[in-house]
Every structure is written in structure tokens, then in C-alpha cells.
């Protein structure tokens, strides 16, 4: 069972939402036409995806692409126009507000781009906010909050006010607040976008480490493809409210679904993303063209899942191509030409 | 060169490219304006450079070119000049009259001659200098408009006959009537009222006598008078009269008086000329011609209910309604009608809901007495100590000194107890302001319709002169402390409400969203997020409210509030400047002491 299931979600802002959906479905209207004809704005257009337990799912898109709107459907901060969202198998659209509030406080933690800490409360009280809302007593709140502070390496800052902390530290507090109630799901809405690059990198690494330990199911929003590739087990790319492609970083880089995605991935380094199996020439076609391989034992070898970085390492200092071997059989061959084309992202001749 | 290139000002341009845009803008005579604008930009335009059209026909030129500011300025200047010259028509005849008897009217002749020469000089000077100014400025203003047009394409450009037509209409509507007015003497205040009455009266008479012409009416009236005179003469000829005849005689005399009034009205009507009517309609006050019957003169009174008391309910009362006969022929304008209706309404509410008002008065009076007792019975060292400690804890040394000095002032001038009375009133009023203002402010911040309703009411409360609601307050609650408290509340509550609403609205959407995302309910959102974050704003509102309440002390003293304000009003009545000043300074000091201490507390709060 998937932890988060989003199925056919539409969000149209405006009075004539239903007519607008019908028109988009039947006539394939674009954003400007819908605004013109119905005075409605398409926030999310027929989005479906699932997130498995412990997985980090990145939603990537430019600002205005509807990613923040979509993530707010997962804890129903925004009601979908149509479509269903299931959390741990339960349809949250059918929940009463009481049950929904319990779900938000206990099962889903959220981190915001602008931290959104409460300025009048100490760091500890900020972290214990969700617990306080559920009526937890002050003693246990403080214990859990201190534990969460330790998790994000801010031990000892509990009695400070948020304004006394730097931006990076504030976002750690935001993360600690999301983790305090030990929820199953984390929603991260561009958590690191407002930070400067070094701190962002630090926090990304730290969050990756955390997430390997805690195995939280995470939906991670970003407008930065590098970040999406670093963080995400899978990536969904959004454009104009629509998810145009879902896949692993390698899928997206090697087989972009359309020009929009292709534009995005054009500048991405493929060294660590693309595996040998994607670029190798099948051994049969190589043999058919150039004849059988002699002295195979002298050739450097690699596995199909090894990335281009490894192949470059193997190819330097030798003129010989790299053999790709799987289960003791040679399945493919990577010549220098193939490797260079693979790095560039162009087809070998 | 394309138009687009010409309109972008960033890159260096050829002279031709500017010409394109000037041609587009100026339409006619573009070559002239092109060179003028160029010289203006280079700073080569001499200060005496003049636009001849601006000098000679400024209204037409500016309207045609759409330089509306210049149109209005030139129109105003010309009108001022012409109005001054028009005084010749006003004082010329008067001067001529006076000259008929120069020896008796020496003073008048001298005065009129002086006035006329001043008016003539000013008028001619205004016309000439005004035109010169417009002529000198015309091209410069036009260049400003050109610069504006280059930024905003909606700015008027080119030449348009339509605009000239509009300008002509404005002139036709405004100029003749203004000039005519300046030649006329001021109309007598009652003249227009009498005119309306004469016209109305004559219309009524016409319909009563069933005639259409005024001349017929005059003869009808004369006929009737003749008949009455004859009848009276016959009766008076008798040596002795029966009772019937005596009463008939009295009736005839009454009718004759009535007839004389009617005759006067008709005579007045005959003297009303078309010019008089025009003057009253267009150049006098705005014509409020509507005259309606006044509302029924009703009084409501609450009296002991004898029936109910007889049935054993002691102390039972009921409202009785007394109607006075209307005054014959009295008609009032809409203002008076509405004012009297409001009076009757207040009277009714006061009588009908006497219990509620009395109870409210009682609650206010009791709480006021309690607070007053608290302030006045607490020994002065305790209160002084408290104020000093607060000042020391929250503010700097300077404030401590100031608070000490202010309180010493009150003590030395023996105003302490009286100041405590004022304090009691302020405290009760402020408490009401908080209890009412805070919820209303929250409601206003949360609900758009509430905001829509409350906003104008608060604006009225802030701007309406407080003296004008003192009167109804007295009508409902009598002259005493409670209405003074209520009037203070009305005056002081708006900042409390507005700043509470502002504080809550200022809470960032993202913070509220975060609270909701962690499972906050609406109530938790309010109590744990919005209200705490609005505290600095609410405290600012509280501070404002207290200051306003103190400044109301004097005005509410008019309806019976005790304390420092009462000294001021008494001093005003007796023309004792010193007393009033000292009491006024005492109010200011009390206000400043509270303000400083509250500010200290506030800043220590907002430090969080």
C-alpha cells in the first residue's frame, strides 16, 4: 500500500470550475483560454502519483507551475476541485474536520519555504506546537521538542526566540517542528530555497542523512533540478499545473518526456546520473559490425549499473573499450566515442 | 525611424526620431513645437518665450490641445479679472444714486469711488498678468504633457475639436451666471423664503377660489372683502346685538384678518418678477424649496399604571402618548422635519425602554463608584509608589523623573483627589472599550461583511463632533456620570477596534497556514497565533484609547462628569484663565504619565 496516493486531482480557482474542467478535458484548452472563457485559473491539472513508504518524492517545476498548490492538497490545506487523495489508504476528502486535524497533527509534518515560525514563542514552544494543539502536557512536550532539536543538531537552542537564529538554523527549527510529533509523512515546500548555497548544501546533506535513519515518506518541493536529483528517489516534473513526467533522475535525464523537460535537463551533469546500461552498445551489434572481441581479458570491465563517472575512471590511461559484464556474461561494450556521446547526451553514430 | 524607436528614450537618438514623436503628439504645427521642445531641452529657450495662442486665446488653445490644467488656470484667472471689472455694474448705479445728493452721501461717494478704482486696477492687472503668465507657461506645460505622454499613451495628445466643444460647454455653463452674480447685490436672507411662501399661498388660493388668473383672484378677494365690510357695517349699525350676532361679528373680523393676509400674499406674488425667481433659484443659496408638514408633535411619557396597580402589581407603569395640535399653516424643510422626527424617536425609546436605560445607568454608576472608591481610598503613597515602580521597571530614568515630577505637580496643586476621579472615569471607559472593542475588532478582521458594516460606523464615531452626541446621551441617561462614560466610550473606542483588526490582519498568511498544517482549529488559530501576534498592535490601540478618553474628560464634564475636566468647564464659564490652564495641564500630565508607562510596557512586549 502506498503511503500517499494522489489520484486525478484537479484544482481550478474560480466560480465555473466544473465547466472549465470539462472544457479542458474535451477541447484541450490551455491556461490562458480557460482564464479568458471562464475567469478561472488552473492550479493543478489532473495530477496523479503515489509515494511509497520511506521514499523521497520530489515535485519539481518553475514558480507558478502548481507544485505548492498540489502539495497542499496532501494535507487538505487546499480542497481539490475533483479527485481523491488517500493517506495510508484513507480518503482524506471524506474526513471530518476533527479527524483531519488529528491527521495533520500526528501523521503529517510540514516544512515551509519561509519557515513560518511563531515569532512570539521560544524555539522549544514552536517545535512543540503540534503537540500542544493535541493537548499534550508541557513536560512531555518539552522532552519531545528537545529530542527533535537534537535530531537537527540544535541542542541547547530551545529557549531562544526564532528571531535570534540565523536563516539556516530557523529552517532546522522548522524541520524539528515537523519531526516533533514523529509523523509518517513529511511535506517539504521548497524548504531550502531561501537559504544561501552553502547552507543549502549542508542542510540537504543533513536531511538526506536524517531521512536514511528515520525513513520518513517525504514529498519534497523544489524549483531546482539539481536539488531534485540530489534529494529525490523519484521526481515528478510539473508545468502549468500538470505533471509532465514522473521517473527516477536517470529516466528523466536520459529520456525527457517533452521539450520542456529536455530544456530543463540540458545543463545537468550526467556523470553520476546515467548508468552504463543506458549508453553501451549491445555486444551482438558490436560483434556484427567489427567482428569478435579479441583478448577480452585485457579489457577493463564494469557492471551495467555503474555510472559514467566510473566508466571515465576505467577508460583513462588505456586505449581499450570497457566491457560491461552482468552475471559473468559480457552484455555490452563502451568505446571512448560511446562514452563521450553518453556524457554529452547525444546518440552515438 | 519607427515610432517604437522614437518612443524609447534610453538610447541616443537622431533629431529626426524625436520629430516623429513630436509630430505624433502635436499633430498640427509640429515643426514649431519640435523646435520649441528641442530648445527647451537644451536649456536655450529664453524666459520671455511666449506662445501667442496661449496669450490670446488660452481657453481655446489649451482645450484644443488637451492641456486641461492650463484651461482651468486660465479660465480661473480670466474669471477673477472679469468679476473685478463687473463690480462697475454693481457699484456704478449706487454711485450714481449717491451723486444725486452729494452733500448727504459724501462718505458713500468716497467709499464707492475707492472700491471701484481698486476693483478696476486689480481686474485689469489680473487679466493682463494672468494672460502673460499663461502665454509664458503654455509651451512649458505643453512640454510636460509631451513628456508624460511618452510614458503613458493615454495622456491627451494631438488636437481635437471634441475637447473644444466640451470647453465651450463648460464656459457657457459657468461664465455667464458667475459674471451675472458678480453684478448683483446680495439677496436679502428672507427674500427667497417669502417668495416661496407667496407663490405657494397664491397657488392654494387659486385652487380654493377655482380661478386660474391672478387678476381674477384679486377681484374675487375684493368681492369677498366688500361683502364682509357691508355685513359688518350692518351689524355694527345695530345699537344692541344678540349673542348670535356678536359671535357672527367676531367671525367676520377673523375672516377679514384672514382675507388681509391672503391679499398680502397675492400682492407679494404680484411683485415677484422673473428676475427675482431666477436669482432665488440660481444665484442664492442652493434652492431648498421643499416645504412639508411637520411630523405630529407627540410626547411619550411613562406614568404609573393605575389599572395594574389596582390589580395588585405595585409600581407598574405604562407609556402614554400625548399629541399636541399642529400649528396652523406651519410647514418645515426636510432638515427640521428629520430633526423633529429624531427627537420624537428618542423620546419614544426613552419612555418605552426606560427600564433598560435605567438599569444601564445604574450598572455604569455603580461600577464607576467602585472604581472611584478604589482610586480615592488607596492611599496616595501607594499609587505614587506603584507608578514610580512601573516607570522604573519598564522605562528609563528620565521617565521615572518625569512621572515623579508630574505626580508632585498634582499633589502640590491639590488636584490629586480630583485627578483620581478623572482616572476612575477613564478606567471604566477604557474597560468598556476593551470588552467591546476587542471582540468587535476580531469580528471585523475575520468577516468581510462585518468590516463593511463597522468601518463607516467607526469613521463616523471618530469624526462626529462629540458635543452632538452629548445631547442624545443626556436624553437617554440624564445629566450625570454614566452618560459621560458612554460618550467617552463612543469617542475612544475606534482605535481599539481598528488596531485590533489591523493586528490580526497583519498576521502573515504563511504563519496561519503553518498553524493549520499542524492541526490548529479556528479557535486555536485565534488564541495561539493571531491574538498573540497582534498584541503589539492591540497595545497601541489601548494606548490611543486611553489618550482619547482623557482628552474627552473636558467635553464630558459638560454633561456631569466630575474630575479635572469639570474644573476646566467651570473655569470656562467664569472666565478664569489660570484655573482652566492649571487643570488642563494636569490632564495633559496624567495622560503623558500613562502614555509613557504604557509605551515602556509595550516595547518590552514587542521585544519578544
Q: Check residue B6 and give its pLDDT.
A: 43
Contact A97 B521 (CB under 8 A): yes
Q: Of A163-172, B195-204, B515-524, where does mean pLDDT reach its minimum?
A: B195-204
- CB contact A114 to B (< 8 Å): yes
Partners of residue B537 in chain A, C-beta under 8 Å: none
Which residue in the set A77, A106, A118 is minimally distant from B517, CB to CB?
A77
What's the rounded mean pLDDT across residues B327-349? 87
Taking only the tens place, the pLDDT of each residue in A84-133 is: 999 999 999 999 999 999 999 999 999 999 889 999 899 999 999 989 99
Domain count, chain A: 2
CA distance A248 to chain B (A): 29
- Between CA A146 and CA B298 the distance in angstroms is 75
Q: Is the pLDDT of residue B290 over 80?
A: no
Q: Of A345-349, B115-119, B142-146, B158-162, where does mean pLDDT reach its minimum?
A: A345-349
Contact A116 B529 (CB under 8 A): no
- Between CA B403 and CA B590 the distance in angstroms is 9
What's the rounded mean pLDDT across residues B385-406? 90
Q: Are residues A145 and A246 in the same domain?
A: yes
- Between CA A322 and CA A315 the distance in angstroms is 7
Q: Is the pLDDT of residue B514 over 70?
A: yes
Partners of residue A73 in chain B, C-beta under 8 Å: none
Q: Name the band, by pLDDT with cuts 50, 70 and 90, for residue B7.
A: very low
Q: How many CB pairs under 8 A join A and B?
A: 62
Closest CA relative to residue B39, chosen from B143, B134, B148 = B143
Q: Is the pLDDT of residue B15 over 80?
A: no
Closest CA relative to residue B112, chosen from B97, B82, B91, B81 = B91
Q: Is the pLDDT of residue B13 over 50?
A: no
Closest CA relative to residue A9, chosen from A74, A97, A94 = A74
- CB contact A103 to B (< 8 Å): yes
User: All 3 cell numbers of residue A217?
Assistant: 515518506
What's the rounded mean pLDDT across residues A12-33? 84
Domain hosting residue A261, numbered range: 52-83+93-265
Residue A17 lies in a domain: no
B 480-509 residues inside an 8 A Cβ radius of A: 508
Q: Residues for chain A: how many in total?
A: 349
Residue A102 lies in a domain: yes
Which residues have C-beta within 8 Å of that of residue B399, sequence separation ≥ 6? B391, B596, B597, B600
Measured in whole angstroms, the distance separating CA A53 from the mean position of its chain's CA atoms is 14
Q: Name the band, by pLDDT with cuts 50, 70 and 90, for residue B9.
A: very low
Q: Check residue B18 and give its pLDDT.
A: 53
What's the rounded mean pLDDT across residues B566-577? 91
CA pseudo-torsion sign B154, B156, B158, B162: positive
Residue A39 lies in a domain: no
Q: Name the band, by pLDDT with cuts 50, 70 and 90, for residue B494.
A: very high
Residue A235's Cβ-count burial label (10 Å; 0-12, 13-18, 19+) is: buried
Residue A277's Cβ-count burial label (10 Å; 0-12, 13-18, 19+) is: middle
Contact B514 A106 (CB under 8 A): no
Q: Are residues A225 and A282 in the same domain?
A: no
Q: Is the pLDDT of residue B187 over 80?
A: no
Q: Check residue A348 and give its pLDDT.
A: 54
Contact A129 B533 (CB under 8 A): no
Closest CA relative to residue B414, chosen from B591, B593, B578, B586 = B586
What is the residue-averaged pLDDT of chain A?
Answer: 89
Q: Check residue B278 and give its pLDDT.
A: 84
Q: Check residue A276 and give its pLDDT.
A: 85
Asked if A215 and A207 touch (Cβ cutoff 8 Å), the reply is no
What is the residue-averaged pLDDT of chain B?
Answer: 87
Residue A234 lies in a domain: yes
Contact A105 B519 (CB under 8 A): yes
Contact A130 B518 (CB under 8 A): yes
Which residue in the set A77, A120, A187 is minimally distant from B516, CB to CB?
A77
H or E element, residue B386: helix B380-394
- Between CA B518 and CA B509 the distance in angstroms is 14
Q: Are residues A285 and A238 in the same domain?
A: no
Residue A247 lies in a domain: yes
Q: Name the band, by pLDDT with cuts 50, 70 and 90, for residue B19.
A: low
- Between CA B59 and CA B162 the distance in angstroms is 14
Q: Check residue B161 and give its pLDDT.
A: 92
Partners of residue A75 in chain B, C-beta under 8 Å: 517
Q: Are residues A74 and A164 in the same domain?
A: yes
User: All 3 cell numbers of residue B335?
Assistant: 432638515
- CB contact B513 to A (< 8 Å): yes
Contact B518 A110 (CB under 8 A): yes
Taking only the tens place, the pLDDT of each residue in A67-88 is: 999 999 999 999 999 999 999 9
Q: Check residue A176 and give its pLDDT.
A: 94
CA pseudo-torsion sign A283, A286, A287, A293: negative
Closest CA relative to residue B105, chosen from B118, B119, B91, B117 = B91
Q: Are residues A174 and A287 in the same domain?
A: no
- The residue ranking higher by pLDDT, B604 or A99, is A99
User: All 3 cell numbers of residue B66?
Assistant: 488637451
Q: Are residues A201 and A112 in the same domain?
A: yes
Q: Are residues A157 and A297 in the same domain?
A: no
Give chain A as a 3 state SS string: CCCEEEEEEEEEECCCHHHHHHHHHHHCCCHHHHHHHHCCEEEEEEEEEEECCCCEEEEECCCCCCHHHHHHHHCCCCCCCEEEEEECCEEHHHCCHHHHHHHHHHCEEEECCCCCCCCCCCHHHHHCHHHHHCCCCHHHHHHHHHHHHHHCCCCCCCCCCHHHCCHHHHHHHHHHHHHHCCCCEEEEECCCCCCCHHHHHHHHHHHHHHHHHHCCEEEEEECCHHHHHHHCCEEEEEECCEEEEEECHHHHHHCCCCHHHHHHHCCCCCCCCCEHHHHCEEHHHHHHHHCCCCCHHHCCEECCCCEHHHHHHHHCCCCCCEEEEECCEEEEEECHHHHHHHHHCCCCC
User: All 3 cell numbers of residue A67?
Assistant: 507544485
Q: Is the pLDDT of residue B1 over 80?
A: no
Asked if A236 and A245 touch (Cβ cutoff 8 Å), the reply is yes
What's the rounded mean pLDDT across residues B186-203? 80
- CB contact A95 to B (< 8 Å): no
Q: Check residue A129 and give its pLDDT.
A: 92
Q: Check residue A322 and give its pLDDT.
A: 87
Q: Are residues A198 and A325 in the same domain?
A: no
Q: Are residues A190 and A310 in the same domain?
A: no
**Where is the domain boundary, A265, A284, A315?**
A265
Q: Name the band, by pLDDT with cuts 50, 70 and 90, for residue B2.
A: very low
Q: Check residue B16 and give its pLDDT.
A: 52
Q: Which of B120-129, B192-201, B369-378, B381-390 has the highest mean pLDDT?
A: B120-129
- Between CA A68 and CA A61 the distance in angstroms is 10
Q: Is the pLDDT of residue B289 over 70?
A: no
- Between CA A55 and CA A89 the distance in angstroms is 16
**Where is the domain boundary, A265, A299, A332?**
A265
Closest CA relative to residue A234, chosen from A47, A59, A57 = A57
Q: Are residues A294 and A169 in the same domain?
A: no
Taking only the tens place, the pLDDT of each residue in B437-466 is: 999 999 999 999 999 999 999 999 989 998
Q: Are residues A114 and A138 in the same domain?
A: yes
Residue A9 lies in a domain: no
Strand order in the sheet with A108-111: A108-111, A185-189, A217-222, A56-60, A234-239, A242-247
Q: Check residue B332 and give its pLDDT.
A: 83
Asked if B12 and B111 touch (Cβ cutoff 8 Å), the reply is no
Which residue in the set A119, A121, A129 is minimally distant from B518, CB to CB?
A129
Q: Name the band, by pLDDT with cuts 50, 70 and 90, for residue B274.
A: confident
Give me the CATH number covering residue A227: 3.40.50.300
Contact B511 A118 (CB under 8 A): yes
**pLDDT more than 70, % of chain B:** 96
Asked if B368 and B424 touch (Cβ cutoff 8 Å), the reply is yes
- Between CA A6 and CA A44 the distance in angstroms is 12
Residue A109 lies in a domain: yes
Q: Of A195-199, A235-239, A338-342, B20-24, where does mean pLDDT reach its minimum?
A: B20-24
CA pseudo-torsion sign B20, B21, B24, B28: negative
> Do strands A56-60 and A217-222 pair parallel, antiparallel, or not at all (unpaired)?
parallel
Give this complex's ipTM: 0.87
What's the rounded mean pLDDT across residues B493-508? 95
Residue A61 lies in a domain: yes
Q: Check residue B405 and give its pLDDT.
A: 93
- Between CA A108 and CA A219 the distance in angstroms is 11
**pLDDT more than 90, % of chain A:** 46
Give me the CATH number covering residue A334: 3.90.1280
Contact B521 A101 (CB under 8 A): yes
Which residue in the set A110, A117, A120 is minimally distant from B532, CB to CB?
A120
Q: Is the pLDDT of residue B342 over 60?
A: yes
Partners of residue A138 in chain B, C-beta under 8 Å: none
- CB contact A105 to B (< 8 Å): yes
HSE at residue B246, side-chain half, CA atoms within 13 A, is: 5
CA pseudo-torsion sign B79, B84, B86, B90: positive
Residue A236 φ then ψ, to 5°: -110, 130
Which residues have C-beta within 8 Å of that of residue A203, sequence separation ≥ 6? A168, A171, A172, A191, A192, A195
Q: Check residue B10 and give its pLDDT.
A: 46
Q: Check residue A331 and give its pLDDT.
A: 86
Q: Are residues A189 and A243 in the same domain?
A: yes
Q: Name the band, by pLDDT with cuts 50, 70 and 90, for residue B130.
A: very high
What's the rounded mean pLDDT across residues B489-499? 94
- Between CA B471 and CA B304 the distance in angstroms is 27
**Where is the domain boundary, A234, A265, A296?**
A265
Identify any residues that bridge with A301 across adjacent strands, giving them in sequence order.
A323
Amino acid at each position: 500500500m502506498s503511503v500517499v496516493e494522489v489520484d486525478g486531482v484537479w484544482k481550478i480557482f474560480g466560480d465555473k470550475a466544473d465547466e472549465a474542467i470539462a472544457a479542458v478535458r474535451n477541447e484541450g484548452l490551455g491556461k490562458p483560454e480557460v482564464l479568458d472563457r471562464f475567469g478561472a485559473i488552473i492550479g493543478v491539472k489532473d495530477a496523479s502519483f503515489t509515494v511509497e513508504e520511506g521514499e523521497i518524492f520530489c515535485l519539481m517545476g518553475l514558480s507558478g507551475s502548481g507544485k505548492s498548490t498540489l502539495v497542499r492538497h496532501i494535507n487538505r490545506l487546499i480542497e481539490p476541485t475533483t479527485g481523491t487523495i488517500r493517506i495510508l489508504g484513507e480518503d482524506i476528502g471524506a474526513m471530518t474536520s476533527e479527524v483531519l486535524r488529528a491527521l495533520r497533527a500526528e501523521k503529517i509534518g510540514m516544512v515551509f519555504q519561509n519557515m513560518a515560525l511563531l515569532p512570539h514563542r521560544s524555539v522549544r514552544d514552536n517545535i512543540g506546537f503540534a503537540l500542544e494543539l493535541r493537548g499534550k502536557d508541557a513536560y512531555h512536550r518539552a522532552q519531545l521538542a528537545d529530542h527533535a532539536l537534537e535530531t537537527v543538531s540544535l541542542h541547547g537552542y530551545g529557549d531562544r526566540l526564532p528571531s535570534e537564529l540565523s536563516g539556516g538554523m530557523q529552517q532546522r527549527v522548522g524541520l524539528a517542528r515537523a519531526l516533533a510529533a514523529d509523523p509518517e509523512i513529511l511535506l517539504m515546500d521548497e524548504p531550502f530555497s531561501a537559504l544561501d548555497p552553502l547552507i543549502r548544501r549542508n542542510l540537504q546533506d543533513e536531511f538526506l542523512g536524517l531521512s536514511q535513519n528515520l525513513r520518513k515518506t517525504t514529498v519534497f518541493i523544489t524549483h531546482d533540478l539539481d536539488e531534485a536529483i540530489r534529494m529525490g528517489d523519484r521526481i515528478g516534473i510539473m508545468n502549468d499545473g500538470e505533471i509532465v513526467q514522473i521517473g527516477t533522475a536517470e529516466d528523466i535525464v536520459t529520456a525527457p518526456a517533452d521539450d520542456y523537460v529536455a530544456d530543463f535537463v540540458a545543463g545537468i551533469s550526467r556523470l553520476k546520473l546515467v548508468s552504463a546500461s543506458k549508453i553501451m552498445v549491445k555486444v551482438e551489434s558490436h560483434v556484427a559490425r567489427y567482428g569478435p572481441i579479441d583478448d577480452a581479458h585485457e579489457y577493463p570491465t564494469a557492471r551495467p549499473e555503474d555510472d559514467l563517472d566510473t566508466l571515465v575512471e576505467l577508460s583513462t590511461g588505456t586505449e581499450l573499450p570497457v566491457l560491461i559484464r552482468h552475471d559473468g556474461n559480457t552484455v555490452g561494450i563502451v568505446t571512448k566515442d560511446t562514452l563521450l556521446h553518453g556524457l554529452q547526451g547525444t546518440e552515438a553514430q | 525611424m519607427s515610432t517604437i524607436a522614437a518612443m524609447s528614450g534610453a538610447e541616443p537618438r537622431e533629431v529626426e526620431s524625436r520629430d516623429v514623436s513630436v509630430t505624433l503628439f502635436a499633430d498640427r504645427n509640429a515643426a514649431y513645437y519640435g523646435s520649441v521642445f528641442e530648445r527647451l531641452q537644451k536649456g536655450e529657450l529664453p524666459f520671455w518665450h511666449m506662445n501667442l495662442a496661449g496669450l490670446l486665446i488660452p481657453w481655446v488653445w489649451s482645450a484644443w490641445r488637451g492641456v486641461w490644467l492650463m484651461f482651468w488656470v486660465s479660465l480661473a484667472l480670466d474669471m477673477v479679472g472679469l468679476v473685478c471689472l463687473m463690480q462697475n455694474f454693481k457699484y456704478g448705479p449706487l454711485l450714481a444714486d449717491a451723486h444725486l445728493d452729494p452733500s448727504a452721501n459724501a462718505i458713500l461717494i468716497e467709499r464707492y469711488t475707492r472700491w471701484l478704482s481698486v476693483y478696476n486696477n486689480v481686474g485689469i492687472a489680473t487679466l493682463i498678468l494672468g494672460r502673460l503668465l499663461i502665454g509664458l507657461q503654455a509651451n512649458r506645460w505643453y512640454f510636460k504633457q509631451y513628456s508624460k505622454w511618452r510614458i503613458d499613451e493615454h495622456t491627451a495628445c494631438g488636437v481635437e475639436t471634441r475637447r473644444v466643444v466640451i470647453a465651450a460647454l463648460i464656459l457657457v455653463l459657468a461664465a455667464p451666471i458667475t459674471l451675472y452674480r458678480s453684478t448683483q447685490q446680495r439677496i436679502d436672507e428672507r427674500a427667497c423664503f417669502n417668495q416661496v411662501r407667496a407663490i405657494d399661498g397664491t397657488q392654494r388660493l387659486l385652487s380654493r377660489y377655482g380661478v386660474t388668473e391672478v387678476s381674477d383672484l384679486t377681484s374675487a378677494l375684493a368681492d369677498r372683502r366688500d361683502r364682509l365690510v357691508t355685513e359688518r357695517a350692518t351689524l355694527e349699525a345695530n345699537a344692541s346685538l344678540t349673542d348670535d350676532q356678536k359671535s357672527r361679528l367676531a367671525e367676520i373680523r377673523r375672516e377679514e384678518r384672514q382675507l388681509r393676509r391672503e391679499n398680502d400674499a397675492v400682492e407679494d406674488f404680484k411683485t415677484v418678477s422673473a428676475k427675482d425667481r431666477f436669482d432665488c433659484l440660481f444665484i442664492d443659496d442652493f434652492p431648498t424649496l421643499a416645504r412639508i408638514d411637520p411630523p405630529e408633535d407627540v410626547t411619550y411619557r411613562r406614568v404609573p399604571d393605575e389599572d395594574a396597580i389596582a390589580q395588585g402589581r405595585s409600581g407598574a407603569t405604562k407609556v402614554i402618548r400625548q399629541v399636541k395640535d399642529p400649528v396652523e399653516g406651519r410647514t418645515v424643510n426636510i432638515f427640521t422635519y428629520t430633526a423633529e422626527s429624531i427627537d420624537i424617536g428618542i423620546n419614544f425609546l426613552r419612555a418605552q425602554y426606560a427600564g433598560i436605560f435605567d438599569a444601564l445607568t445604574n450598572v455604569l454608576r455603580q461600577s464607576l463608584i467602585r472604581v472611584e472608591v478604589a482610586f480615592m481610598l488607596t492611599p496616595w503613597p501607594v499609587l505614587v509608589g506603584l507608578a514610580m515602580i512601573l516607570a522604573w521597571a519598564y522605562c528609563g530614568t528620565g521617565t521615572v523623573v518625569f512621572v515623579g515630577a508630574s505626580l508632585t505637580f498634582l499633589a502640590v496643586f491639590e488636584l490629586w483627589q480630583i485627578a483620581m476621579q478623572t482616572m476612575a472615569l477613564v478606567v471604566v471607559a477604557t474597560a468598556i472599550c476593551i470588552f467591546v472593542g476587542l471582540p468587535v475588532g476580531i469580528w471585523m478582521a475575520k468577516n468581510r461583511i462585518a468590516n463593511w458594516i463597522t468601518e463607516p460606523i467607526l469613521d463616523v464615531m471618530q469624526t462626529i463632533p462629540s458635543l452632538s452626541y452629548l445631547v442624545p446621551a443626556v436624553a437617554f441617561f440624564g445629566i450625570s456620570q454614566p452618560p459621560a462614560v458612554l460618550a467617552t466610550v463612543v469617542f475612544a473606542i475606534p482605535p481599539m477596534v481598528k488596531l485590533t483588526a489591523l493586528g490580526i490582519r497583519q498576521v502573515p498568511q504563511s504563519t496561519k497556514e503553518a498553524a493549520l498544517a499542524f492541526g490548529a482549529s479556528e479557535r486555536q488559530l485565534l488564541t495561539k497565533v493571531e491574538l498573540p501576534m497582534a498584541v503589539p498592535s492591540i497595545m497601541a490601540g489601548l494606548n490611543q484609547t486611553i489618550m482619547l478618553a482623557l482628552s474627552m474628560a473636558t467635553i464630558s464634564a459638560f454633561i456631569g462628569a466630575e474630575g479635572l475636566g469639570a474644573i476646566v468647564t467651570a473655569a470656562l464659564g467664569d472666565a478664569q484663565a489660570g484655573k482652566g490652564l492649571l487643570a488642563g495641564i494636569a490632564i495633559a500630565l496624567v495622560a503623558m504619565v500613562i502614555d509613557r508607562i504604557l509605551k515602556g510596557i509595550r516595547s518590552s512586549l514587542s521585544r519578544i
